[in-house]
Structure 1
């Protein structure tokens, strides 16, 4: 008689042990695999974007005029694909994550963090970089990481809002950390930008995800600093305090102006251009692509792409850029963002900041250029995001600039306060638009026309709402922001994030879903 194998006997001999192992695997193993997948996705996505930009530079080297045809065509195709198949993939992706975290993760994540949107994010941002768009990969990596982790919820026996929220938060933080190789910045970003609160329960989740994703990134890319290591010198210049103040004010004004341009497009775009957006959004995207191409040719090609090479060249002393570079780069960045095409603003913002540092070196010529560039990078990034802690931690880790930490902190703080005079926090304001419910459909054609006319009067946009898209039209970047936070309608699912004008240290809305099933966290 054949004797049963040991593997067949184990479930009968140790049923409790088998069930416990399965439960532990569901609680921890799935989460660990997800964090590893985020690190792998971040590395592969970075290499894909680098390949795309190298391909664009190769094509442009053979025909300098090619962007005049290629960039508008890719802009139109990207806008059509985003609107037709990948609503929710537009922009940097960080507003989508914020909206999901501050509302009902189940309903909003199912619209904004699907695998289809993840695929569209990668595909269309690659198309954008092939066309020379001024976009980065870091913001999209945040949404990619959040989407990967959010879709693991189906492997938990009883998932609820708290578990889903922890998965989204961990994936987003791990994505940013792996994209920049800045683990501390990933934690700070999750606390300051995404949730604006600290939870002891979520701390273990964040650290575990960042460690696992970081190990994968380090294993594939090696240990590196994003912009290399700058030499701050042993003695700081006497004018350092003045330079910090001037740099913070200049970059604060520039970053605040950039945010204002994106959030109040209906106030400065000509009426004909607004009409083009309302009636022919694909043609509007092609027009933006043409602007990007013209600006790129005028700048000698320096405004194409994310700007990483230009910023790194300035820091290393190998690049000579025009004093008009930061302004031209801002124009190209606005034109890249308006059509609603997937792409981030982190890396372009750092490049613009480096350009302002190069300009300010004309005034503070006795200071080290890399030091001034570092101050300007953190100042502009803090002005755009209005997240000063995240900004100075990111730049500090990028340049290995621990000696400059006090100067970076001061610049980030002043710059973010200056920017607030011009515009509310960019990511939070865009997240509000996802949380705004779509308007009710009018029963008759006449009522529909009247409602469209009223909407155009109030917001300068008559873009129809798509019921299958996010709660608000995610491509509606031309909508003006209401003056008061009370004018923003509350979400139908959960609680909207704090008003854009509210201080960032206010406590977040409490979770209405009660206690959670034990999720991906440390043992109790």
Structure 2
């Protein structure tokens, strides 16, 4: 009953976040349509406010939230887990993610849904300590399944990324939560495919020549993105690092200003999740600026290191789609949608270093079974290329920071208790 109820709530939260995220992006699009340079004011101020609210009211809700969910599974202390996944954090995550999209930040809603799902399951689990690790895993996996309407990807994500192992005891909870959350999402949003339905295939010598080029480019670029996030997550050394630590809100404002500049340079195409731009190319044959992939990469990087809540799933898929679109000028006989799918899988694999998850997500969200084998090959190559730049997946590297911070907090608390005890004697 716990995980069935949790699945319903997670699915409902994913639906609410999806609907409101679309509305937030629509409002921002209407604003910049009326005033093309509004982003130079709204985006930096909005990201500054989001960074301040995160630190002041919802600590540990920054970024995508997936590292926090991973860290919560590794921690044994109940209070330490509660500081990373809780109803308070879930509420803050939803509100601040929507606020970021309203201000034009290049963030996604799918990663936040993972932390929201983990928080909901953790709270519903209550004092059922024996099952809490499984409930956090189930909630996180259900979040992915409901956000993308990709149940298989939810299962693979739980095994490959969240736990990095097949846990027999948690499998029932995970599948049950995914099924219920997915049914709840389908009930309100319909049985849809995230990027529509494609039927392209990779044929001929040029198609198979394009595959390794796309895979290596996407893998290296994705690894570079992860490396930047890990470096900033640990904290830059020297004067610059100390300045960022002392003035995090002003750093977020600067990131917002640079992201707004990138947005204007792209013709206002790199704000938000990037979903509408990719869908426009794949379903309606629209064009993207040749600079889209580079500027989307820059805008997403700036949003991710700024400290505001927001995911990297959708923006990463958009960057990968841009890479595939760019390669279309080199491989003119290859179907554009095939290059875009290869680009999405390659870059996404490079970022998260979870190749099976990347393949299943893209295959499910496009319903293109003919591309499964090429996507697998591309993911394998991209994974190897990414590890040349970044030896470890970004989520687990960032999760270690939260685990270390929790252990440091416990040690500090014990030291204070000992000091107080000495003084009382």
TM-score by length of 1: 0.75
1:436 aligns with 2:408: no
Where structure 1 has 5 or more consecutive residues not aligned to the other structure, the ranges are 1-28, 442-464, 469-524
Measured in 1, the distance between the counterparts of 2:39 and 2:48 equals: 13
| 1:104–1:239 CA distance, 2 compared to 1 (3 A) | same
Out of 301, 304, 307, the residue aligned to residue 268 of structure 2 is: 301
Q: What is the rounded CA distance, in whole Å, between the counterparts of 1:266 and 1:353 in structure 2?
A: 23
1:272 deviation in Å? 6.7
Closer/same/farther in 2, CA of residues 272 and 310 from structure 1, 3 Å limit = farther
1:266 and 1:46 map into 2 onto residues whose CA distance is: 27
Matched, 1:228 2:204: no
Contact between 1:253 and 1:418, CA under 8 Å: does it hold in 2? yes
Q: Secondary structure at the match of 1:352?
A: helix
Aligned match of 2:100: 128
Q: 1:43-97: CA deviations, max 9, x gaps? A: 0111111111111111111111111111111111111111111111011010001
Query: Does structure 2 conserve the Cα–Cα contact (< 8 Å) formed by 1:276 and 1:283?
Result: no
Q: Aligned pair in 2 of structure 1 residues 267, 438: CA closer, same or farther (>3 Å)?
A: closer
* Structure with greater helix share of residues: 2
2:39 to 59, 67, 87: 67
In the other structure, the counterpart of 1:370 is 337
Cα drift, residue 467 of structure 1: 7.2
Question: Take 2:56 and 2:235, find their aligned partners in 1: how far apart are those partners?
Answer: 28
Q: Which of 152, 173, 196 is 1:205 aligned to?
A: 173
Map Cα deviations across residues 261-312 of structure 1 (whole Å, 9 max, x no partner).
2222499989775454133221111111111111111111001111001111
| Residue 143 of structure 2: aligned partner | 175
Q: Distance in 1 between matches of 2:142 and 2:234?
A: 37
Q: Which residue of 2 aligns with 1:113?
A: 85
Equivalent residue in structure 2 for 1:191, among 159, 184, 193: 159
The yes-or-no answer on 1:39 pairing with 2:11 is yes
Question: Cα offset for 1:260?
Answer: 1.5
Whether the 8 Å contact between 2:234 and 2:401 is mirrored in structure 1 is: no
Does the 8 A contact of 2:233 with 2:305 survive in 1?
no
Question: 1:144 and 1:399 mapped to 2: Cα distance?
Answer: 25
Shift in Å at residue 243 of structure 1? 1.5
Alignment partner, residue 410 of structure 1: 377
Aligned pairs for 1:94-493 within 5 A:
94-104=66-76, 106-154=78-126, 159-160=128-129, 162-233=130-201, 236-265=203-232, 273-423=240-390, 424-437=392-405
| In 1, Cα distance between equivalents of 2:81 and 2:369 | 37
1:106–1:164 Cα contact (<8 Å) kept:
no
Q: Which residue is 2:421 aligned to? A: none
For 2:68 and 2:81, the matched residues in 1 are separated by 9
The answer to whether the 8 Å contact 1:313/1:319 transfers is: yes
Q: Distance in 2 between matches of 1:420 and 1:172?
A: 25
Distance 2:406 2:224 in 1: 29
**Could you tell me whether the CA contact under 8 Å between 1:314 and 1:354 is conserved in 2?**
no
The 3-state SS of whatever aligns with 2:191 is: coil
Superposed CA deviations along residues 143-178 of structure 1, whole A, max 9, x for unmatched, are 101100100122x6xx22x30011111111111000
SS at match of 1:322: coil
Residues in 2 aligned to 1:127 and 1:467: alpha-carbon distance in whole angstroms: 34
Partners of 1:263 and 1:165 in 2: how far apart?
25
Residues of 1 paired with 2:233 and 2:194: CA distance?
37
| Cα pair distance change 1:71/1:466, threshold 3 Å | farther
Aligned 8 A contact 1:105 1:165 in 2: no
Asked if the contact 2:199/2:370 (under 8 Å) is kept, the reply is no
Seen in structure 2, the aligned counterparts of structure 1 residues 266 and 51 have a Cα distance that, compared at 3 Å, is closer
Structure 1 runs of 4+ aligned residues shifted over 6 Å read 266-272, 438-441, 465-468
Aligned length: 412
| Unmatched runs of 5 consecutive residues or more in structure 2 | 414-425
Give 1 or 2 for the bigger CA radius of gyration: 1
| Residue of structure 1 in register with 2:63 after alignment | 91
> Please, what is the CA RMSD of the aligned residues?
2.2
Q: Are the structure 2 counterparts of residues 466 and 288 from structure 1 closer, same or farther at C-alpha, using a change threshold of 3 Å? A: farther
